[in-house]
Amino acid sequence: MQDPLQQRIYVAGHTGMVGSAISRRLKRDGYLLVGPKSRVDLRDQRRTMDMFSELKPDLVFLAAAKVGGIYANLTYPADFIYDNLMIQTNVIHASCQHSVKKLLFLGSSCIYPAKSPQPIKEEYLLSGYLEKTNEAYALSKIAGIFMCQSYNRQYGTNFISLMPANLYGPGDTFDPSNSHVIPALIRKIHTGKESGAESVEIWGTGNPRREFLYVDDLADACLFLMENYDSSEIINVGAGKEVTIRDLAHLIGEVIGYRGEFTFNDDMPDGVPQKLLNTSKIAKMGWQPSTALREGLEKTYQWFLDNVAGSG
């Protein structure tokens, strides 16, 4: 049997938040990472196939994706569905064509119906209508799941699909027009503190409940599943706890040291009222996250200060 540390591993999307976290974890444990010498547009089938011919990876983590918050999803739905369909189609097909031993596809909790019973079980997929604010992105991820399952069934590949909760951590996107809720709140509240603002406006009512998973915990789960999971059935990965957006804003305010008030603009969309994943499947396998929300927020804010805040 080949030494696991000698298997060639390609992390698609290695410069993004999730991909860089996976790469950090693999490098820490001594795994052999391979990658192109220059950036490859994974939406381009020929360039993707050429890259696989050159790299000859044994294992692939498919973390490359176009991602964003509610505003970005509502504004650029065509980009979200096109870019993600092209990226995952090319990487999954190339993995099959070049006899990759195993691929892990990163999906999203937004694949589940907007009115799913809580906590959300894996079998709720396709049991109802999607949330309108991100359905283009969700549909692309659902297509990725079915591609992995279809290739497994037709070609005998070993492609698995992981559905993470809302993610945050070092390497996140803090652009106000393209960020998810935690980086958006960190930037807004930090700016409010620096400017001495008496109040900071938060989009929505503040009532929706969300589950947040620290990205290094996700990276740990990815490696765990790559080593221990071989089913075509999707598997959830989350923190197992939820918080309202209102309480999240106040917690981030405490971490940052902001003393002002928060106002909630209920003219802006909330998204689904609640989204908590049922993670009993991976828990029974022996995996649990290790980073508490406050600890993760403190690490994320420090990364923001070190890498983003001073750059304008």
Q: Among all residues, which ones are annotated catalytic?
A: 137
Establish whether 58 is an annotated binding residue. no
Secondary structure letter of residue 285 according to DSSP:
H
Secondary structure letter of residue 131 according to DSSP:
P
CA distance 47 to 201: 44
Establish whether 279 is an annotated binding residue. no
Establish whether 13 is an annotated binding residue. yes
Establish whether 18 is an annotated binding residue. yes
Establish whether 1 is an annotated binding residue. no
Establish whether 165 is an annotated binding residue. yes
- Structure tokens belonging to residue 241: 């706890």
Q: HEC profile for 65-104?
A: CCCCCHHHHHHCHHHHHHHHHHHHHHHHHHHHHCCCCEEE
Establish whether 107 is an annotated binding residue. yes
Q: Residues 127, 130, 135, 138: what is their CA dihedral angle, to the nearest 10 degrees?
A: -40
Strand extents, DSSP E, the chain: 8-12, 32-34, 59-62, 102-106, 159-164, 166-168, 199-203, 209-210, 212-214, 235-237, 243-244, 261-265, 274-275
CA distance 110 to 142: 9
Establish whether 27 is an annotated binding residue. no
Residues in contact with 124: Cβ distance below 8 Å, sequence separation at least 6, in sequence order: 112, 113, 116, 117
Establish whether 35 is an annotated binding residue. no
CA distance 300 to 252: 10
> Could you give the count of Cα atoms lying within 13 Å of 11 in the half-sphere of its Cβ?
22
Establish whether 106 is an annotated binding residue. yes
Whether 65 and 90 have beta carbons less than 8 Å apart is answered as: no
Establish whether 180 is an annotated binding residue. yes
CA distance 162 to 221: 9
CA distance 58 to 69: 33
Establish whether 139 is an annotated binding residue. no
Establish whether 167 is an annotated binding residue. yes
CA distance 261 to 3: 56
Establish whether 253 is an annotated binding residue. no
Establish whether 166 is an annotated binding residue. yes
Establish whether 66 is an annotated binding residue. no
Establish whether 108 is an annotated binding residue. yes
Task: Detail the residues annotated as belonging to a binding site for substrate.
Answer: 188, 203, 210, 270
As annotated, the binding site for NADP(+) includes 13-19, 106-109, 141, 164-167, 180
Task: Please state the residue numbers annotated as binding site.
Answer: 13-19, 106-109, 141, 164-167, 180, 188, 203, 210, 270
